[in-house]
Amino acid sequence: MLSGFFLIENTRDIRQHFAQEQRAAVMLKKSVQTILNGLSVAVFVIDAKQIIRFGNIAAQERFGIDAVEDDLLSVIPAKECQKAAERVLKNDETTVSLELTLQDVVPTTFRMIVTRLDAELTGKKARAIISLEDISHIREAEQMRIDFVANVSHELRSPLTSLSGFIETLQGAAKDDPIARERFLDLMLNDAQRMSRLIGDLLSLSKLQASERVAPQETVNLDTILRRVVASLEPISNTEETSIVLFVSDNLPMVVGDADELTQVFQNLIENGIKYSKRGTEVIITAEADPSHDNQLRISVRDHGEGIDPQHIPRLTERFYRIDKGRSRDMGGTGLGLAIVKHILIRHRAYLHIDSNLGLGSIFSVFLPVAETE
């Protein structure tokens, strides 16, 4: 009797113990899943046959909810991924990390890490965990930096090469030719000014990027700024035989802004309007309250120039982007003007809109928030 009683007690203990262990395992699984769901990187757990057993929320958002229970290769169509998982599942390696580019509509680069899961955790089943971090923006930034350095070097080298050429000619063949000397010195001055303008623009850009998060504090009158810019550009408009027409609405509200930076914005837009227009045409500047948004001003610069092919419009504010490099350079341009405009406007919580018709002309519109009145 006594021994039978003990047997019953022991069986109950064992059952209770098992139930407790099972509850603990379920709790652990839930906790791990909650932690994985809180991560921004995509995480999959695969079994020995490379079937996806779990995908965290980031993985389901990126690769689709149906990814779970699917074959790894059909979700991530890359042989390298399959091979890495195979090596880890066969225990050839504990962890494999690699960089993977998936050719989606837009190619995406991932840093992928495959790690074998401890058998203790998986009930002796072979399982691997895969994390996929989207690093496309890092690779793009690296490429932009490389392109930028290459562009700066090229833009600085061209006037330098030209200057060295003139110096050599002045030391040799043109040594005693006063007419050639005069002409070459003019060209050399032009090259030196070009380099100085380029360095000035680059410094402007890096200063602007550093201060982008701090919005300007002063209140400025755009009417005054626009009139000053138009007056300063008169010599260029006379040479180009272009007339500048300025319309400013009565009682134009003040804006919060930096007067020097806004001057730079309109100087570049109006100068572009003049430079890229046909001779004898008008560049029309209009400053008024934006009819479609309260508390916003619209300042548009309209030219009757060659217009811009739509494919170029989204790229115009990139540094050094010029539709016709040779032509812009001949006109003394560095291709940094609109990049500077973009950064100034970001700082002003403002934006630029470009409208253009090939052969007819373009309208560059700036939308600026109005200063609050007390």
Sites of contact with Mg ion (CB under 5 A): 268, 272, 337
- CA–CA distance, 122 with 23 (Å, rounded to integer): 15
Of the candidate residues 128, 303, 345, 350, the single one contacting ligand ATP (CB under 6 A):
303
Nearest distance from C-beta of residue 271 to Mg ion, angstroms: 6
Query: What is the dihedral angle through the alpha carbons of 62, 65, 68, 73, rounded to the nearest 10 degrees?
Result: -50
Residue the block writes with tokens 């500048």: 244
| Residues 263 to 302 in contact with ligand ATP, rule: CB under 6 A | 268, 272-273, 276
**Closest residue by beta carbon to Mg ion:** 337
Number of shown-chain residues binding ligand ATP (CB under 6 A): 21
Closest to Mg ion by CB, 268 or 277: 268
Our measurement of the distance from residue 156's CA atom to the centroid of its chain's CA atoms, rounded to an integer in Å, reads 24
Closest to ligand ATP by CB, 127 or 302: 302
Cα angle, residue 367 at apex, residues 361 and 371 outer, rounded to 5° = 150
Closest to ligand ATP by CB, 44 or 276: 276
Nearest distance from C-beta of residue 323 to ligand ATP, angstroms: 3
**Closest residue by beta carbon to ligand ATP:** 337
159 lies in the binding site for ligand ATP (CB under 6 A): no
Cα angle, residue 275 at apex, residues 267 and 280 outer, rounded to 5° = 115
Nearest distance from C-beta of residue 347 to ligand ATP, angstroms: 17
Q: Tokens standing for 243?
A: 């007339």
Which positions from 308 to 337 touch ligand ATP by CB under 6 A, shown as an x/- string? x-------x----xxxx---x----xxxxx
Amino acid at the residue 217: Q
Q: Which DSSP helix (H) or strand (E) runs through 192?
A: helix 178-211
Our measurement of the distance from residue 14's CA atom to the centroid of its chain's CA atoms, rounded to an integer in Å, reads 62
What is the length of the chain? 374
Q: What is the contact surface with ligand ATP in residues (CB under 6 A)?
A: 268, 272-273, 276, 303, 305-306, 308, 316, 321-324, 328, 333-338, 362
